[in-house]
Amino acid sequence: MIAVSGLDVVRDGRPVLREVGLDVAEGSWTAVIGPNGAGKSTLLQAVAGLLPHTGRIRLDGREGLRGRERARTVAYAPQNPLLPEDLTVLDYTLLGRSPYIPYLGRERAEDREIAERALLRLDLADFAGRRLGRMSGGERQRVVLARALAQQAPILMLDEPTTALDLGHQQQVLELLDELRLTEGLTVLTTLHDLGTAAQYADTLVLVSGGRVAACGTPAEVLTADLVGAHFGAKVSVTRGPDGRPRLALERP
Amino acid sequence: MRDRPAVEAAVKARPRRLRPVPLAAAVAVLLAAMTAGLLEGAASLPPGEVLRAVFGLDSTLSPMEHALLTELRLPRVLLGALVGGLLALAGAGYQGVLRNPLADPYLLGASTGAGLGATLVIVHLPVAASYGVPVAAFTGALGGVALAYALGRAAGPGTGTLILAGVAVSSFLAAVQTFVQQAGVDRLEQVYSWLLGGLAGASWQSLGMILPYALVSTAVLLVHGRLLDVLAVGDDEAASLGVDAARIRLVVLAAASLATASAVAVSGLIGFVGIVVPHAVRRLAGGSYRILLPLSLLAGGAFLVVADLLARTLLAPGELPLGVLTAFIGAPFFLAILRSTRGRAS
């Protein structure tokens, strides 16, 4: 669904990503992990087409997608989405319909229905008329998901979807994301700084370090004590959970 | 999450949200303000006869009263509504593209550019002041913004750079304006009275002069409401939604600057309307630019007509400077709205 090869990104004269390759299967959840400053967010932004880059990026079998056509293929949310506080939840969700509305056009009844359906899907229908400034952190993340869902793109890219959420809301958002992926058949690409979370939810992990892909594979293949030690400088012990996924625990040096 | 059939049923049951209501209310307020502006003044006119005369019917007004109504009050009220609407609309547009609640129509150098243009004409070309000042103010306003935009873009992307460039250009043009003004101290009063702003010079001619620009800029701004909502989430997210933020910013800035230039050309520098009216509307009717733009246009018009009515009646037969009055009644009014909606909006 997403095929990236030879991706180079230069920001402010400094190479941030070099020769990055990536393959994401349709309907899977791939998490990009890596130490701070490794280029995780840059990778997502480049794949979403928001940064100048060289290399090949194929989305849904097509290369060189631009503008509204690309927006119908990829829905993207940054780490800290701007939520205009006076905009209502419904108006914000309707923004997800932008790729389907011509430059000076208006949304049709169908667009409104799709947005309302996205709100219902995420249990936000009762908040449709509420201003974003009055929503709590967990609710705001759900609203961002609702907008992405209204975009009806087969690929969903989220940069750290659980930052600034407490543990309960983190779990809620991740479970929701997984359920959307399974029921809507979405392909999910996220960055996740929490390795435990990445191990629990993702099918595939891509470890980015120093602007290159250092390892790629199932959580069990990537989250080894050696790789984590080498790239994060952290001493961890790795065990297997009953589901076969790795469990990490910090060890004091 | 609910299952599919429940979702479908709920979508069908959900009522469509009504937007015509606030729009109709704003139209009613504007019409009421304009009617009051026509009826009241230094000389009161009988309401029934005024309305008959305005709609072209026979009335018992004396020829002098009739001339007062059609040659002074009517163009003044119409111009007040137009200028107030343009300033509020432009303010909302600037706030949208700059993503900054403190933005107003004068932020990027429109006011100091217009001030410089007007001062140049008043000081150096006094014989041509009657038509030269509007033209110079119009040109100066557009020139100021164009300069700020060009310098801002050259310095880097982003709205912050643009605002800083606007501040620098404004300071520079203000300095030049002061310099020019010093060269012609004997005309200081004229310069000041222009800078303070007002509608005393309103005529059918001034109305006709700005109408084409006003119509074009208003139309362009009003059709960009949906796209300004998209811009509110940031340039990157706008791009991920298939919207080119830089292009929309340029178009909306140009239209808002044209609206501002049209307003200052005929009324001088009337402050406060462009920042207070959009914020009041945002508090009362929500933050979507699709509703904010038309409501600001209507409410701005009503606000300035009322302010001008007070400016010419409070000290009749003298007149208060309109720019002073807009701040004088605007600030408390705005604070009252902030207080009353504190719980709802934040």
Reading phi first (left if > 0) and then psi (alpha if -120 to 50, else beta), residue A56 is in beta
Minimal Cβ distance to A91: which of B11, B229, B282? B229
Question: Does A242 lie in the same domain as A166?
Answer: yes
Phi, psi of A190 (to 5 degrees): -130, 155
Q: How far is A151 from chain B (nearest CA, A)?
A: 8
* Strand spans (E) along chain B: none
Is B54 domain-assigned? no
Q: What is the pLDDT of residues A4-22, one digit of tens each?
A: 988 999 988 889 999 999 9
Does the distance separating the beta carbons of B240 and A116 come in below 8 Å? no
Does the distance separating the beta carbons of A131 and B232 come in below 8 Å? no
Question: Does A205 lie in the same domain as A138?
Answer: no
Best residue in B233, B293, B295 to probe A by mutation, most A CBs within 10 Å? B233
Omega into A161 within 30° of 0, i.e. cis? no
Q: How far is B20 from chain A (nearest CA, A)?
A: 16
CB B248 within 8 A of CB B227: yes
Question: Does A127 lie in the same domain as A161?
Answer: no
Q: What is the pLDDT of residues A235-246, one digit of tens each?
A: 999 999 888 899
Question: Does A35 lie in the same domain as A10?
Answer: yes
pLDDT > 90 in chain A, percent: 53
Strand-pairing partners, residue A206, are A32, A216
Looking at beta carbons, which residues of chain A come within 8 Å of B232? 82, 84, 87
Domain CATH for A67? 3.40.50.300
Strand bridging mode A74-77 / A62-63: unpaired
Question: Does A130 lie in the same domain as A86?
Answer: yes
Is B17 domain-assigned? no
A137, A152, A167 — which closes off a domain?
A: A152
Is B80 domain-assigned? yes
Looking at beta carbons, which residues of chain A come within 8 Å of B226? 98, 101, 106-107
Q: What is the pLDDT of residues A84-117, one digit of tens each?
A: 988 999 999 999 999 999 988 888 889 999 999 8
**Residue B97 burial (10 A CB sphere; 0-12, 13-18, 19+):** buried
Range of the domain at A173: 1-73+153-253
Is B30 domain-assigned? no
Average pLDDT, chain B: 87
Question: Does A169 lie in the same domain as A60?
Answer: yes
Q: Which residue has the tokens 């129509």?
A: B105
Phi, psi of B224 (to 5 degrees): -100, 10
CA distance B129 to B187: 12
Confidence of residue B336 (pLDDT cuts 50, 70, 90): confident
Range of the domain at B209: 75-338
Question: Does A56 lie in the same domain as A85?
Answer: no
Question: Does A171 lie in the same domain as A203?
Answer: yes
Question: Does A200 lie in the same domain as A117?
Answer: no
CA distance B106 to B269: 9
What tokens appear for A121 in the block? 């899907």
Q: Comparing C-alpha atoms, which of B286, B180, B156 is closest to residue B229?
A: B286
Q: Comparing C-alpha atoms, which of A51, A44, A36, A76 is closest to residue A193?
A: A36
Domain CATH for B246? 1.10.3470.10
Q: Comparing C-alpha atoms, which of B121, B114, B131 is closest to residue B260?
A: B114
Asked whether the predicted pLDDT for residue B247 surpasses 70, the reply is yes
A117, A152, A187 — which closes off a domain?
A: A152
Asked whether the predicted pLDDT for residue B113 surpasses 70, the reply is yes
CB A103 within 8 A of CB A149: no
pLDDT mean over A160-179 = 88
Question: Does A169 lie in the same domain as A246?
Answer: yes
Q: What is the pLDDT of residues B142-151, one digit of tens each?
A: 999 999 999 9
Is B137 domain-assigned? yes
CA distance B237 to B251: 19
CB A22 within 8 A of CB A157: no
One-letter amino acid of B201: G
Confidence of residue B85 (pLDDT cuts 50, 70, 90): very high
Confidence of residue B3 (pLDDT cuts 50, 70, 90): low
Q: What is the pLDDT of residues A22-57, one digit of tens each?
A: 999 999 999 999 999 888 999 999 999 899 999 999
Predicted model pTM: 0.87
Is B31 domain-assigned? no
Q: At what angle do helices B129-155 and B188-196 cross, to 10 degrees?
A: 60
A120, A152, A184 — which closes off a domain?
A: A152
- The domain total for chain B is 1
pLDDT mean over B317-326 = 85
Question: Does A173 lie in the same domain as A201?
Answer: yes
Regarding an ipTM greater than 0.85, the answer is yes
CA distance A43 to B254: 35
Asked whether the predicted pLDDT for residue B345 surpasses 60, the reply is no
Residues 6+ apart with CB under 8 A from B56: none
- The domain total for chain A is 2
Is B297 domain-assigned? yes
Least confident of A159-163, B11-15, B320-324: B11-15
